[in-house]
Amino acid sequence: MMLRTFALTLCVLAALSSAAPAQSTAEHAIDTAKSHAQFSISHVFVGHVTGAIPIASGSVEMRPGSSIPLKATAVLDAAKFDTGDQDRDATMTGPNYFDAKSFPTWTFTSTKIIETGPASFTMDGNLTLHGVTQPEHLDVTVGGDATHPVYHATGHIDRRSWGMKGTRLDPAIGGVADVTLDVVLGR
């Protein structure tokens, strides 16, 4: 009986030792010169306001040969929020909205990534802005190839979820912004 248990243990150990080793992963920095975040939000007086927020830093972790990430992070520079109108930008980065002095960056960290096709996936994560963290969802398509992927992500952000209710003109500004991120990885 003891010999049988010993033999069984050896078989199990042999099977475990011959199992495929865990795949390595690689972390790639986001190329901030080629990557950007854009938004569009309705406004009663001008139709839609569009603008950009620079991606200051970030990274994507992937398995070699795959363009679908395992996890991702991005940091946006709220102080450089730009709609092309300096007065509007000053209002939006001021204390009634983004309060960029107190909260100079926005951070997105993925929590769940699901491949939806050979060149697409969904990404859920936590977005922290204005000192508040809320869950967000992005739909992402992949261009390029497995060694140099390019990501195009779309989502919707309800600014009121972060306590940004603004001023007396607040009803003129839409609550939900359409967001687009184009991300290129550094080589």
Domains in the chain, please, with CATH?
25-184 (2.40.128.110)
pLDDT given for residue 140 in this prediction: 98
pTM: 0.81
Residue 175 has pLDDT above 60, yes or no: yes
pLDDT tens sequence across 58-71: 999 998 888 999 99
Rounded Cα distance between 157 and 132, Å, is 13
pLDDT tens sequence across 27-37: 999 999 999 99
Nearest to 70 by CA among 20, 113, 120: 113
pLDDT given for residue 12 in this prediction: 40
Rounded Cα distance between 100 and 4, Å, is 69
Rounded Cα distance between 92 and 101, Å, is 11
